[in-house]
Structure 1
Amino acid sequence: MPDTEQLTTTTPNVQTDAPSLPNLEQESWQQLASAADSEADPFKTLVVATCTNTGAGARMVVLRQVDVIRKYLWFHTDARSEKVIQLEAFPTATLLFWDDKQQRQLRLVVETRLHTDDYVADDQWHTLGLGSRKIYLSERKPGSEQPAPYQGFPEQLGENLPTKEESEAGRKNFAVIECRTLSMEYLHLSRKGQTRALFQYEPESKQVWLAP
């Protein structure tokens, strides 16, 4: 005789109040675009993770520009830095954004391209204020060993900003890293339930929900 106890079927918990995937993608890119123009936005600073011959490297950088339509991002760095060497050898990198207040994380896998002596770097250089240009006046390679603490710019400047003319000496050390987004992963943490999704752009386009 078959068991007369009624069998029950379980189904995964579904968040009925979750936004649609297209809306979630649009909101994420809108925040990234806003962060590029806002010093207060938590997405203004991000972690860049790179590959090396001996493992991986990670450091903080500042988001400078976002193209929502093409899914491109840009940040600046010293052309002599170790991350430039790493990205030239292994162009694929991961960008990690975290919004502590919203408990929201974005993880982008990108293909990078270096700009130093072209119109892209020239255009970005012209947008920099003197405070930002000052750090490119360093006479020493970033990460090089020093006999004593080094402030990262000519000692005579001290707390002062360089003049615009003085700042032009830093142009040769300035580089722009262009990032073409291959995929973006969204994660939102909440006591009501986590939300995780993947937006893939290359090699094929798809949008899917993921288990947190």
Structure 2
Amino acid sequence: MSEWFETLDGIHTRLWSTLGRGVADAKHPARIPTLATVSPDGWPEARTVVLRSADRPTTQLTIHTDITSDKIKSLRANPRAALHIWDRKQALQIRLQTEVTIETGPSARPLWDKIPDHAKQSYGITPPPGTPIPDALDYVKDPDPATFAILHCQITHIDAVHLGEQHRRAAFSQSDDWKGRWLSP
């Protein structure tokens, strides 16, 4: 019997189970990937986000954010993003290229209504995120569903690297129906 990292199917299945674990387990490293975008003036940006869903059949991930955050400005200028996950225990790096759509307003309200009160504190900060303030705590948290946004990240390409005793790298792309191919690590 082979190890999961020895076949393309094994790697593909493992990376999706890793994403699923990130959604289900708040302590799993896939729960908090790095999201990379490009600012409207061309600068790379990276920040930690929380993975809220991972759906293999639709190849879509979701992330929640405040509509007034800088990442929204960046995604409106260029609706593409990359996500990066490093799972040390599995020696697995996952990089995902995505096309992002932003959902807000009435269609996002049913999900807002399911968010626990303590988590709603992240949406509706005054002044908006990134605004200069005179002191570290000169802001007010006032949960506001009008500032809640769902980022729907449609995966177009996946690059997975297993850094075991022998390194293995595989790529999976929407353009070839996710068949996968080996790459030099």
TM-score w.r.t. length of structure 1: 0.80
The residue that corresponds to 1:115 in the other structure is 103
- Structure 2: unaligned runs, 5 residues or longer: none
Output the CA distance in 1 between the equivalents of 2:19 and 2:140: 31
Output the CA distance in 2 between the equivalents of 1:31 and 1:145: 37
The residue that corresponds to 2:45 in the other structure is 57
Shift of 1:143: 0.2
Relative distance call for 1:115 and 1:201 in structure 2 (3 A) is: same
Does 78-87 or 53-62 show the bigger shift?
53-62
Q: Does 1:84 align with 2:58?
A: no
Output the CA distance in 2 between the equivalents of 1:118 and 1:47: 28
Instruction: Show CA shifts across 1:48-70 (max 9, x none).
Output: 11012232111000000111111
- Structure 1: unaligned runs, 5 residues or longer: 1-15, 155-166
Equivalent position to 1:208, from 170, 181, 185: 181
- Aligned partner letter, 2:66: D
The residue that corresponds to 1:171 in the other structure is 145
1:8-87 matches, within 5 Å, as 18-52=5-39, 53-87=41-75
- RMSD across aligned C-alpha pairs, in angstroms? 1.7
Secondary structure of the 2:122 match is helix
Q: Is the 8 A contact 1:36 1:63 kept in 2?
A: yes
Q: Is the 8 A contact 1:136 1:153 kept in 2?
A: no
Output the CA distance in 2 between the equivalents of 1:92 and 1:182: 10
The residue that corresponds to 1:159 in the other structure is none
- Aligned partner letter, 1:138: I
- Aligned partner letter, 1:65: S
What percentage of aligned pairs have identical amino acids?
28
Larger radius of gyration: 1
Shift of 1:46: 0.6
Q: Does 1:187 align with 2:161?
A: yes
Q: Is the 8 A contact 1:45 1:60 kept in 2?
A: yes
Shift of 1:152: 4.9
Output the CA distance in 2 between the equivalents of 1:69 and 1:24: 16
Output the CA distance in 2 between the equivalents of 1:56 and 1:23: 32
The residue that corresponds to 1:158 in the other structure is none
Q: Is the 8 A contact 1:135 1:152 kept in 2?
A: no
